[in-house]
Amino acid sequence: MSYGHPYMGSGSRTARRTFEFGKTHVVRPKGKHQATIVWLHGLGDNGLSSSQLLESLPLPNIKWICPTAPTRPVAILGGFPCTAWFDVGELSEEGPDDWEGLDASAAHIANLLSTEPADVKVGIGGFSMGAAIALYSATCFAMGRYGNGIPYPVNLRAVVGLSGWLPGSRSLRNKIEVSHESRRRAASLPMLLCHGICDDVVPCKYGEKSAQCLCSAGFRYVAFKTYDGIGHYTVPREMDEVCTWLNSKLGLDGSP
């Protein structure tokens, strides 16, 4: 799935855009700190709303870092500026992705995780556009580099994407297959993708195609779950499944 972007195309651009990220909110673990997850909001939202959702979850051993995306003109909104992790146009299988915006956000997230203690497991999750960046970060981890070739510095242990899609899906398999190390990293990373069947913003078929693409590229532990009657939002039973999955995949013991 791809989105048109006015900066992309020939690769001959001479000036890099700069991105000013908004405020980051942190939810401290209520028990022993065993994992840290960066959670990414959707288009037009902010880190505060994410933190308010996450602090109510029964996951006492997780520290949540909830950044806020830069405010930028967004093509799908007719150029109206709002918080967005990258520029996005109409949903389609055609056209280029906003690689510069994707890389800038993925690097910002990795930087937030890079200072966590060595014995703390780290992961990324998100909703909608935030899920797209989480999945893109997973591909950067597998390849060992961002789209621009700069090394990816973080050892991800889990990725969650709710009501999202995978940017850059068309070329992913070719990029993973060329390297034994990339295949090994892809095969090691558990991923959970969830989607409402009635989603009319990011249709469920895009979530399903993303899961299929990840599996075909060598990500062996991809779970894709759908929810009947659910649109473009999260519901308690979905978050319950996220909690159960994180506890299992990260080996959290609930200790105080």
Candidate list 5, 25, 41, 232, residue with the active-site label? 232
Residue the block writes with tokens 């991923």: 191
Residue the block writes with tokens 């709002």: 82
Candidate list 87, 103, 199, 210, residue with the active-site label? 199
Q: Residue 202 contacts by C-beta under 8 Å, 6 or more apart in sequence?
A: 91, 128, 163, 164, 165, 195, 232
Q: Is 128 annotated in the active site? A: yes
Measured distance CA(32)–CA(143) in Å, rounded:
32
* Tokens representing residue 51 in the block: 């933190």
Candidate list 128, 137, 163, 169, residue with the active-site label? 128
Q: Is 199 annotated in the active site? A: yes
Q: Is 10 annotated in the active site? A: no
Single-letter residue type at 129: M
Q: Would you name the residues annotated as active-site residues?
A: 128, 199, 232
